[in-house]
Amino acid sequence: MSDNEIKKILIVTNVGFPNGMAATNRLISHAKSFIFNNVKTKVLIMNKTEILGNVNNTNNHGIFEGVEYNYIFNKTVISKFIIVRAIEKYLKSIKLFYIILKSCNSNTAILYYSAYSLPALSIRLASLITRSVFVKEETEHPDIRILEKRNFIEKYFFRKLHYRLFDGILVITKQLLSYFKEVMKYSKPVILIPMIVDIDRFNNMPVKKIEINNIVFTGEIDEQKEGISTLIRAFAQAFKKYNNMTLNIYGKAKDKDKIKQYEELIDNLGVENNITINSYKKRDEVTKILLNADILIFPRPYSLQASFGFSTKLGEYLATGNPVIATDVGEVPNYLKYKENAFLCKPTEESLKKKILEIKENPKLAIEVGNRGRITAETFFNNKVESKKIIEFCLLLKNNLH
């Protein structure tokens, strides 16, 4: 390698690794493909991410599918003591500063996958000293990030200064690209890197069944974000015609009361024997679940998040080669067409029900559409292709800076 190359990528995040939700899967897809493109890659997790009694990540460091990772506090489980959590909130910025100083140089790119501003400021200072490239990926509208902030100072800092800390930004949709350039008047480079999928993860596809019964949803168990109540009601309506179908919901809810509400709804609709709400599953388990589903369903409603974001989960669905029902939110219609590579519908009970019945009654068509969906994922959401663009973008930033 010459000096005019990106030799190392350091991914800094606050989400659990290697087990987690969509954000974690996206990180893994990126990291594996950076390595595929001959760039040494490491993931740094700045937070303890696990709660006592519900631990998914037990190792504070290791190698997962070829990707090296490390929790900077050398522990994964959040302390039960408030004072410890308060100290660590600020200590992580100091630790990250010294880690960057020690491990980065002018041939390093740092990718930041978090909405925390203070650690980003710390990394920015260290990156200036080491002359490394500092890049942010944004997958949601900035207003959503601002709403997550706890106080006025955090909100103000994020709105006015946060994005200025980076040398460039990766965005997941054309809508976000337009927002940063036209609304925010962002002067630094911005590049579109769409939702990506680790295609190789879904290579062991089983033979498709003609009998279609098993419907699967994975993700956050929430109505506002994912349309879970609407999905349950739509299934209950379809079930009246075909009572051999099942709906399996996998994921997490924000609290146990949410789960109870959905279970009560299921009971009231009389489909308690055919709808199951399952707990969170690890990545390898989810892979098998998705591959063995008959229908994968994406019932997301219209929202600011849906308009500007693009779900990694949808890409994973397509990569299985199974028929996918997806609501026409955000940029989904830019890639998916009805009965061409997916079954598009409106985020309503009636529309979802009709698509479930259409697939149930046309299994051969569903299999053909599912196969074309896999091709779509390979063409537009291929992690190896898109991550090479990120490497080239970081190299461009490096040359501009130096």
200-380 maps to CATH 3.40.50.2000: yes
Do 200-380 and 8-196+382-401 have the same topology in CATH? yes
Taking the CB of residue 203, how many other CB atoms lie within 10 A of it?
10
pLDDT digit of tens for each residue in the chain (402 aa)?
457 899 999 999 999 999 988 899 999 999 999 999 999 999 999 999 998 888 888 899 999 999 999 999 999 999 999 999 999 999 999 999 999 999 999 999 999 999 999 999 999 999 999 999 999 999 999 888 877 776 788 888 888 899 999 999 999 999 999 999 999 999 999 999 999 999 999 998 887 777 889 999 999 999 999 999 999 999 999 999 999 999 999 998 888 888 999 999 999 999 999 999 998 898 999 999 999 999 999 999 999 999 999 999 999 999 999 999 999 999 999 999 999 999 999 999 999 999 999 999 999 999 999 999 999 999 999 999 999 999 999 999 999 876
CB 312 within 8 A of CB 194: no
CB 194 within 8 A of CB 184: no
CA distance 139 to 176: 8
Q: Where are the alpha helices (DSSP H) in 252-338?
A: 256-269, 283-291, 304-308, 312-319, 332-335
* Domain locations along the chain: 8-196+382-401, 200-380
pTM to 2 decimal places: 0.92
Return d(Cα 112, Cα 116) in angstroms, integer: 10
Q: Does domain 8-196+382-401 have CATH number 3.40.50.2000?
A: yes
Buried/exposed code over 47-70 (b: 16+ C-beta within 10 A; e: otherwise): bbbbeeeeebbeebeeebeebebb
User: Are the beta carbons of 112 and 123 closer than 8 angstroms?
Assistant: yes
Q: For residue 284, give Cα distances in angstroms to 20, 25, 158.
A: 11, 11, 36
At residue 284, φ and ψ (nearest 5 deg) are: -65, -30
Q: Taking each helix axis as running N to C, give the angle between helix 117-130 and helix 82-103, from 0 to 180 degrees, rounded to the nearest 10.
A: 20
Distances (CA, A) of 374 to 8, 130, 229, 392: 31, 42, 28, 26
